[in-house]
Structure 1
Amino acid sequence: LHCDGVQAAGKIAIDIAALGADMLSLSAHKLGGPQGVGALVIRNELALRAVQRGGGQERGLRGGTENVPGIAGFGVAADAAGRGLVQMAALAELRDRLETGIAALAPETVFFGQGVERLPNTANFALAGARSEMQLMRLDLSGIAVSAGSACASGKVARSHVLTAMGVAPALADCALRVSLGWQSVPADIETFLSAWAEIAAPETLKKAG
């Protein structure tokens, strides 16, 4: 079993043994480290075939000179992220403040993942009638960068296959918005977003959009 832990690392505590996974992938840039550097945690008794021969580097699995600066940067970022886990509680409070504000503006908003264990820095929600592309354009004009899905699908305004798999109705999934918070996010950022989103949630805006 391979587990993609890229989004979780640095945001929630990861107990690899408790996961029961054979392999776990991590990425440095998600921790504030250099781009293009990753790690694969492998269960000790698992035997893998080399993907690139020619040397004994990386335990004989990938021959060639290691990216030493990248590895060092990854290590520093991972160490800092581990110490920074305590700050995630503050981010979760900001996220909850964001969702509370959204619900106050539009009580009919549907929030995905509420009430279950999830990342502390991300809110994913949908307001029926407010299509994702309309929201993205309006928020962009206000200087606010958000997305309709994961970074893997950036540049695309397409229905989330994850929401589809969760059984979310297509019409509602087409209205999904994802807001991510970061280390530098402050309460004022939440208020700025809510002020801009209030115009989107206004009945007259939704009427025009429909």
Structure 2
Amino acid sequence: GRFASEHVTLAPVTAAGRVDPEALRQLLRGTSATLVSIMFANNETGVLQPVFEASEVVHEAGGLLHVDAVQAFGRLPLRFESCGADFLTLSAHKLGGPKGVGVVAALPDRPLPEPLIRGGGQERSHRAGTENVAGIAGFAAAAAAALAAMAGESQRLMVLRDRLEAGLSEVAGTVIFARESSRLPNTVLAARPNMKAETTVIAFDLAGIAVSSGAACSSGKVQPSHVLAAMGVTEDMARGAIRISFGHTTTEADIDRCVVVWRDSAS
């Protein structure tokens, strides 16, 4: 079944945006928590989480660990059997595959949650209805292509990320959130004092560049990023944060255009 909100506790993160395994240990001590869910990489900051260390803490407490690896799969080396997770989830569209297709991987003896869609016995009785064969095949093809190119592409994206951050930082007051943390090679979250994210997003849009105010799934909401709030970022800075992410079609020229828009929007 689903967890009611009163049965869910949020684990704190450091100012660098990482879950602290020791704080997690203290949180689990004396509780009856059965499941801990953690991102492999945060979708706003790109920060990589201490998944293996967290798994040790969770298993010591007698719980199970779910890892959301949607952002990391195809961009970073990832092996289910060595990351310490009991459950792992992936999504095709992050790799350029079809939307609406995902994977729930589980160790053989772990109990899977109750199905959201009931009926027939498809998908090992965990999701009723005719299988989306075309979507599944598309996911497999996208994953194969992404994994084959991963090593070189991740390095290329990292160079572009560093170029972008260097250019953005030339504007006075620019903050690159979690810049010193280990992060995804393709994600940058930045802000300036007294900056309105909505205004900046429009400036980029007029230049033909799509960016978002925080995560794409929450872009357009008026409240500041809960991720930055958890990191202790002031509300003023959090309200101005924009996320710039890129992929295999992004070029140095695209990065340089982003820097120009950022600079112009500050003047």
Report the alpha carbon displacement of residue 53 of structure 1 after superposing the two structures with TM: 4.7
Q: Which residue of 2 aligns with 1:8?
A: 72
Q: 1:170 aligns with which of 222, 235, 260?
A: 235
Report the alpha carbon displacement of residue 154 of structure 1 after superposing the two structures with TM: 2.7
Contact 1:148–1:157, Cα closer than 8 Å, also in 2: no
Q: 1:73 aligns with which of 126, 134, 138?
A: 138
Report the alpha carbon displacement of residue 65 of structure 1 after superposing the two structures with TM: 2.1
Distance 1:53 1:97 in 2: 49
TM-score (norm 2): 0.71
Q: Which has the higher helix share?
A: 1
Identity %: 48
Q: 2:170 aligns with which of 101, 104, 109?
A: 104
Report the alpha carbon displacement of residue 13 of structure 1 after superposing the two structures with TM: 1.5
Distance 2:93 2:164 in 1: 25
Per the alignment, do residues 90 and 49 of structure 1 end up closer, same or farther by CA in structure 2, a change over 3 Å counting? closer
Contact 2:106–2:112, Cα closer than 8 Å, also in 1: no
Structure 2, unaligned stretches of length 5 or more? 1-64
Aligned residues: 201
Distance 2:237 2:264 in 1: 19
Mapping for residues 85-96 of structure 1, pairs under 5 Å: 85-86=150-151, 87-96=153-162
Mapping for residues 1-210 of structure 1, pairs under 5 Å: 1-48=65-112, 50-51=114-115, 52-86=117-151, 87-106=153-172, 108-202=173-267
Distance 2:163 2:211 in 1: 17
Distance 1:118 1:195 in 2: 24
SS in 2 for 1:66: coil
Distance 1:64 1:179 in 2: 37
Contact 1:126–1:173, Cα closer than 8 Å, also in 2: yes
Distance 1:67 1:6 in 2: 19
Distance 2:206 2:235 in 1: 26
